C-alpha cells in the first residue's frame, strides 16, 4: 500500500508499504453487524447491549463505548462531549477520543481537561499547523476556535476468539457555526486483546481521508498527531524547578533516551510510568513500522505528562483527496514499572504483524 501523503520535498509518495500478515485469530473474527448475527446487530444500534468475545465485553451507550476484561474496565471511547470542569471554557469540549484508559488494577492512566492544557484529551489525534481551502487551521489548540474533531458515528464492531474491536467515524472540522465545514473524515478501529491479568493490550488504526476535493496541507511543526495525556498525578508540582530525572512520569524510549534527550528522537516505542494512587503504573506505545515516516518523531514535553507522535517534525506534507492517510499504534498497559524485556517482545510481535 502506498503512503497517503505527498512530501513537501518530493512528489513521490515514499517507499511502498507492504501489507501486514494477520494472525489466524484475526482472520477468524466475526463482524457483529453481519446478516448472520441479527441479534448482535442490535448490540450496535441499541444502547447498553453487550457484545462479548471470550472474557472481553463491549458495551455501547448513548455516550460511550466501554470495553471490559474479566469484568474490569480497560477503556472508554467518548461519543458525547463531556461537561467541562469548573473554570474551563465550553469550547474545550470534544468527542472522538479515548478516556479513561485503565491499568489492570483499576487506576485511570489518562487525564482529561487538564487545567494547564485543557485541549489535551487523554488519547486523541489532532493536527496543529495546517491549511485547508486557503484557510489556516488548528485542530489541536481549541482556544483558537479554528478547527475541531468530533464523533460522527459507530461504523461496526467485531469479535474474535481473543479480541473485541469497534470502528468509529470522526470528522476534522474547519470554522465554527454556519461557516463550519468538514475537512477530513477519520475512522478509528480500536482492537482490545484478551491478555493475562498483569497487562492490557490494544491497537488503534486511524484512517484519514479528505472530505471533499480540497487537500489538507500540514506545515512542519514541533508537535501534532496521535497524542497521549497522562493522569494529573503525573504532573510534578513546581516541575520547572525539578530536575528532569525526578519528574513524573518517567519517560523511556526504545533507544534508551529519557524525557529531555528523547524529545524529537525517532524511537520504535516509548514508555511512561509512575505511581497513581500509590500504585506503580506504566504505559508503552508502539509506532507501526509501516506508518508514514516511521519511526516517527516524538514530542516529549519537558514538564508535563504528555507526548505525541509527530511526523510533521520532519517537514511539511499533504493529505490528498483519494489517498487515505493510515497510521497504526499499539498500547501496552501494566500495573508495574516498565519491563524492557516484555516491551521489546511486544514490539517484535507488532512489527511482525502479530
Residue range(s) defining the domain that contains residue 237 = 5-351
pLDDT at 174: 96
What does the block give as the cell for 161?
476468539
CATH code for position 293:
2.70.98
Whole-prediction pTM: 0.85
pLDDT tens by residue, 60-106: 999 999 999 999 999 999 999 888 878 887 777 899 999 999 999 99
Does the structure show a pLDDT above 90 at 279?
A: yes
The phi and psi torsions of 298 (rounded to 5 degrees) equal -120, 140
Does the structure show a pLDDT above 70 at 299?
A: yes
Does the structure show a pLDDT above 50 at 25?
A: no
245, 300, 242, 301: which is closest to 274 by C-alpha?
A: 245
Those residues with Cβ within 8 angstroms of residue 349's Cβ, 6 or more apart along the chain or in another chain: none
347, 346, 265: which is closest to 310 by C-alpha?
A: 265
Region 148-175: mean pLDDT is: 96
Does the structure show a pLDDT above 70 at 18?
A: no
Which band of pLDDT confidence, cut at 50, 70 and 90, is reported for residue 237?
low
Does the structure show a pLDDT above 50 at 255?
A: yes
Residue 251, Cβ density class (10 Å: 0-12 exposed, 13-18 middle, ≥19 buried)? buried
Degrees, nearest 5: CA angle 344-350-342: 25
Number of domains in the chain: 1
273, 283, 272, 268: which is closest to 328 by C-alpha?
A: 268
Q: Side-chain half-sphere of 175: how many Cα atoms within 13 Å?
A: 11
pLDDT at 244: 62
Residue whose grid cell is 493490550: 201
pLDDT tens by residue, 182-219: 999 999 999 999 999 999 999 999 999 999 999 999 99
Which string of b and e fits 290-326 if b means at least 16 CB within 10 Å?
Answer: bbbbbbbbbbbbebbbbbbbbbbbbebbbbbeebbbb
pLDDT at 7: 46
Residue-averaged pLDDT of the chain: 84
Q: Which of 12-21, 176-185, 341-350 has the highest mean pLDDT?
A: 341-350
Q: Which residue has the higher pLDDT, 16 or 53?
A: 53
Region 225-234: mean pLDDT is: 91
pLDDT at 11: 24
Amino acid at each position: 500500500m502506498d503512503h497517503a501523503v505527498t512530501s513537501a520535498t518530493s512528489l513521490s509518495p515514499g517507499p511502498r508499504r507492504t501489507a501486514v500478515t494477520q494472525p489466524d485469530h484475526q482472520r477468524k473474527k466475526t463482524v457483529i453487524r453481519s446478516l448472520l448475527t441479527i441479534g448482535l446487530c442490535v448490540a450496535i444500534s441499541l444502547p447498553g447491549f453487550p457484545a462479548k468475545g471470550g472474557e472481553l465485553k463491549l458495551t455501547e451507550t448513548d455516550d460511550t463505548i466501554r470495553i471490559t476484561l474479566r469484568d474490569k474496565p480497560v477503556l472508554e471511547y467518548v461519543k458525547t462531549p463531556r461537561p467541562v470542569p469548573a473554570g474551563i471554557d465550553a469550547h474545550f469540549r470534544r468527542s472522538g477520543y479515548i478516556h479513561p484508559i485503565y491499568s489492570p488494577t483499576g487506576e485511570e492512566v489518562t487525564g482529561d481537561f487538564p487545567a494547564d492544557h485543557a485541549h489535551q484529551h487523554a488519547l486523541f489525534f489532532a493536527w496543529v499547523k495546517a491549511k485547508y481551502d486557503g484557510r489556516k487551521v488548528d485542530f489541536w489548540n481549541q482556544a483558537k476556535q479554528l478547527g475541531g474533531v468530533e464523533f460522527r458515528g459507530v461504523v461496526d464492531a467485531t469479535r474474535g476468539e481473543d479480541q473485541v474491536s469497534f470502528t468509529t467515524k470522526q470528522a476534522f472540522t474547519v470554522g465554527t457555526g454556519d461557516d463550519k465545514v468538514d475537512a477530513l473524515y477519520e475512522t478509528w478501529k480500536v482492537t482490545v486483546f484478551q491478555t493475562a491479568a498483569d497487562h492490557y493490550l490494544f491497537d488503534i488504526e486511524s484512517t484519514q481521508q479528505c472530505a471533499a476535493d480540497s487537500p489538507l496541507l500540514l506545515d512542519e511543526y514541533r508537535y501534532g498527531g496521535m497524542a497521549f495525556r497522562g493522569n494529573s498525578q503525573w504532573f510534578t508540582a513546581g516541575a520547572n524547578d525539578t530536575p528532569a530525572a525526578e519528574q513524573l512520569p518517567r519517560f523511556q524510549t526504545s533507544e534508551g533516551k529519557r524525557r529531555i534527550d528523547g524529545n524529537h528522537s525517532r524511537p520504535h516505542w516509548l514508555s511512561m510510568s509512575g505511581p497513581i494512587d500509590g500504585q506503580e503504573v506504566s504505559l508503552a506505545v508502539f509506532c507501526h513500522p509501516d506508518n508514514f515516516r516511521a519511526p516517527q518523531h516524538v514530542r516529549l514535553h519537558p514538564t508535563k505528562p504528555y507526548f505525541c507522535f509527530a511526523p510533521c517534525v520532519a517537514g511539511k506534507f499533504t493529505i490528498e483527496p483519494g489517498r487515505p492517510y493510515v497510521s497504526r499504534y499499539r498500547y501496552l498497559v501494566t500495573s508495574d514499572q516498565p519491563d524492557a524485556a516484555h516491551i521489546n517482545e511486544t514490539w517484535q510481535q507488532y512489527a511482525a504483524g502479530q
